[in-house]
């Protein structure tokens, strides 16, 4: 087999391996029965999702609240961290880069256990607040790196010129650095939001009995058998993700 055909075949196999399970989830969200055999087209699982699945929507709203809130705070902290790395001295950059990179390679289960021990030590009751704090914690490294990638595309002389023209540091930050970093900030926000909505492992350790998020709810439902309602809400989440991706396609190049 020629190298070109071999490469094409391997890419096709990988894409099929990745997309076939997603296609099956979408397909069986329209199946008329619970069985894993196609018996006919039906929208009854979507009807059940919207009419008799209040517990799912409650956990979905918890995920949305935590996702938006933690992404907003994570982007703010990540922006200041990225600016500090961009403008800081070389030794400071090296230290910041190392400390920021470490969370990428630490297993989620270790982060989850560490946060659980921390919250228990300070006697903070497990709730949506602890989930929010945990999600802010693991989103900061991602937001910092994405925004820093954006800033590195520009010459510092633009900022120095603003200083020469009389701009103070706060004005230079607001009028020059933030507009330059804005595409990266937007991309970082949606990356953090996606990570928050999707997170299960860390959330599992820091969630309280009345603070269930959507991934935890789906996990508890799967333990008692896969319901087509799960397929329905998974399909809606997939459609929402694709819609956001289309709107933000011009920012994709700033995501690392």
What pLDDT digit, counting tens, does each position of 138-185 carry? Answer: 999 999 988 988 888 777 777 777 777 777 777 887 888 888 888 888
Rounded mean pLDDT of 188-216?
89
The more confidently predicted of residues 1 and 47 is 47
Within 10 angstroms of residue 39's Cβ, the number of other Cβ atoms is 10
Query: Nearest CA to 137 among 209, 81, 95, 93?
Result: 81
Stretch among 5-9, 85-89, 128-132 having the lowest mean pLDDT: 85-89
Stretch among 178-187, 205-214, 242-251 having the lowest mean pLDDT: 242-251
Query: Nearest CA to 161 among 147, 153, 151, 171?
Result: 171
CATH 1.10.3720.10 is the classification of domain 55-225: yes
Q: Report how far apart, in Å, the C-alpha atoms of 6 and of each of 11, 139, 256 are.
A: 9, 38, 28
Rounded mean pLDDT of 73-87?
89
Q: What pLDDT shows up at residue 252?
A: 53
Residue 255: pLDDT band with limits 50, 70, 90: very low
What pLDDT digit, counting tens, does each position of 37-47 carry? Answer: 788 888 888 88
pTM of the model: 0.83
Instruction: Report helix, strand or coil for 31.
Output: strand
| CA separation for the pair 193, 69 (Å, rounded) | 9
Residue 118: pLDDT band with limits 50, 70, 90: very high
Q: Is the pLDDT at 254 greater than 70, yes or no?
A: no
Q: What pLDDT shows up at residue 256?
A: 43
């Amino acid at each position: 087999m020629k190298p070109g055909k071999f490469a094409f075949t391997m890419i096709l196999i990988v894409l099929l391996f990745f997309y076939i399970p997603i296609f099956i989830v979408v397909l069986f969200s329209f199946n008329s029965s619970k069985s894993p055999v196609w018996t006919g087209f039906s929208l009854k699982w979507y009807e059940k999702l919207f009419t008799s699945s209040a517990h799912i929507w409650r956990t979905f709203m918890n995920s949305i609240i935590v996702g938006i809130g933690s992404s907003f705070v994570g982007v703010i902290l990540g922006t200041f961290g990225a600016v500090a790395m961009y403008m800081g001295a070389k030794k400071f950059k090296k230290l910041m880069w190392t400390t920021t990179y470490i969370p990428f390679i630490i297993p989620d289960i270790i982060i989850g256990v560490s946060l659980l021990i921390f919250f228990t030590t300070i006697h903070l009751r497990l709730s949506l607040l602890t989930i929010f704090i945990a999600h802010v914690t693991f989103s900061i490294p991602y937001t910092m790196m994405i925004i820093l990638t954006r800033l590195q595309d520009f010459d510092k002389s633009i900022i120095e010129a603003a200083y020469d023209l009389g701009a103070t540091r706060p004005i230079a930050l607001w009028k020059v650095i933030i507009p330059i970093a804005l595409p990266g900030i937007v991309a970082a926000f949606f990356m953090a939001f996606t990570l928050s909505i999707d997170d299960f492992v860390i959330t599992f350790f820091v969630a309280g009995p009345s603070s269930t998020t959507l991934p935890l709810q789906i996990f508890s439902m799967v333990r008692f058998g896969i319901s087509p309602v799960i397929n329905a809400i998974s399909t809606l989440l997939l459609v929402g993700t694709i819609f956001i991706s289309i709107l933000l396609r011009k920012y994709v190049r700033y995501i690392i």
